[in-house]
Amino acid sequence: MCIRDSNGDAPSTTRPTAPDTASFSGTPPTALESKASAAVESARAAASAAASSASAAASSFEASVSAEVERANRAAETELEDVDGQGNAMSDVSMTGKPRSETGGLLAVVVTITNKTDRTASYAVQVDFLDGSGKAVETRFVGAEDLEPGERAQPLAISRKPAEPVLTPKLAKAQRY
């Protein structure tokens, strides 16, 4: 039985011809080259995925560090709320300015806290940023928790005010608890 198309004609029995290889350039890849090419592409894809994963991990780590710093700074602020005067740890704390070229133009100070006692202690520190008249125009809180005897921490107190007018950081309070 012969199947006919919609016009009633018998289907064509012509076979497709092989392509004219004279118009091809180069040589076909060997099986080894094809596998190598696939391996390279697979490695590129894996490297790209690893880079994305590393970037995500770095962002996650940075966010957790930022969250921990913010939590410690809030704890320091809370601890200092009821402190009268300068606190009991002014001699355990010092400050050093960081060059603006290293801070993106921001005013930043390294607050060095050293546990000079013979017991584990936590510290809360208040840094005021003063204008030319000596008025505190900004206050930052930093802290260090559970420092072992002799251990040192160096949190940053960073002003968010513009570079002008020039501000001067002042150690206002330091409390050991």
- Convert the pLDDT of each residue in 53-79 to its tens digit: 555 554 554 555 577 888 888 999 999
**AA identity, residue 157:** A
Q: Enumerate residues 6+ apart whose C-beta is below 8 A from 3.
A: 11
Question: Which residues of the chain register pLDDT less than 50?
Answer: 58, 61
Minimal CA–CA distance to 140: which of 162, 113, 95, 171? 171
Q: How many Å apart are CA 63 and CA 1, to the nearest integer?
A: 76
pLDDT single digits (tens) 4-20: 555 555 555 556 666 56
In this structure, is the dihedral angle defined by the CA atoms of residues 147, 160, 140 and 91, taken in order, positive or negative?
Answer: positive
Distance from C-alpha of 114 to C-alpha of 144, rounded to nearest angstrom: 9
From the centroid of its chain, how far is CA 83? 34
Query: Is the whole-model pTM more than 0.75?
Result: no
Sequence letter at residue 109? V
